[in-house]
């Protein structure tokens, strides 16, 4: 079972690991896309585990102290998968060296 770490840093002063996403048997880009999708607020809140965007495969690591949901993962944020770090790009992901 593979896991993706989601790190929000695009709009923050300090990067913060906000979630671990269990990607199951997904590999490569498919695992990153799965983690990206399930850290999006499309219909409601992924981090508050609401009906539409909540997913049991997502472990929220950094809830907001005010009880509000976290923002969606965005361009400029990072993900770590199988020991490699990726940046969320305008389209897709860029591996960081």
Q: Are strands 78-81 and 2-8 parallel, antiparallel or unpaired?
A: antiparallel
- Residue 24: pLDDT band (50, 70, 90) is very high
Backbone dihedral region for residue 83 (phi beyond 0: left; psi -120 to 50: alpha; all else: beta): left
Per-residue pLDDT tens over the stretch 43-97: 999 999 999 999 999 999 988 989 999 999 999 999 999 999 999 999 999 999 8
> Which DSSP helix (H) or strand (E) runs through 36?
helix 28-37
User: For residues 36 and 51, what is the distance between their CA atoms, to the nearest angstrom?
Assistant: 17
């Amino acid at each position: 079972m593979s896991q993706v770490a989601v790190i929000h840093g695009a709009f923050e002063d300090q990067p913060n690991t906000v979630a671990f996403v269990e990607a199951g048997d997904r590999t490569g880009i498919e695992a990153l896309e799965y983690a990206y999708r399930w850290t999006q607020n499309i219909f409601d809140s992924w981090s508050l585990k609401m009906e539409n965007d909540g997913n049991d495969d997502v472990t929220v690591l950094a809830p907001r102290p005010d009880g509000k949901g976290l923002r969606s993962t965005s361009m400029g944020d990072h993900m770590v998968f199988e020991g490699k770090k990726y940046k969320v790009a305008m389209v897709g992901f860029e591996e960081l060296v």
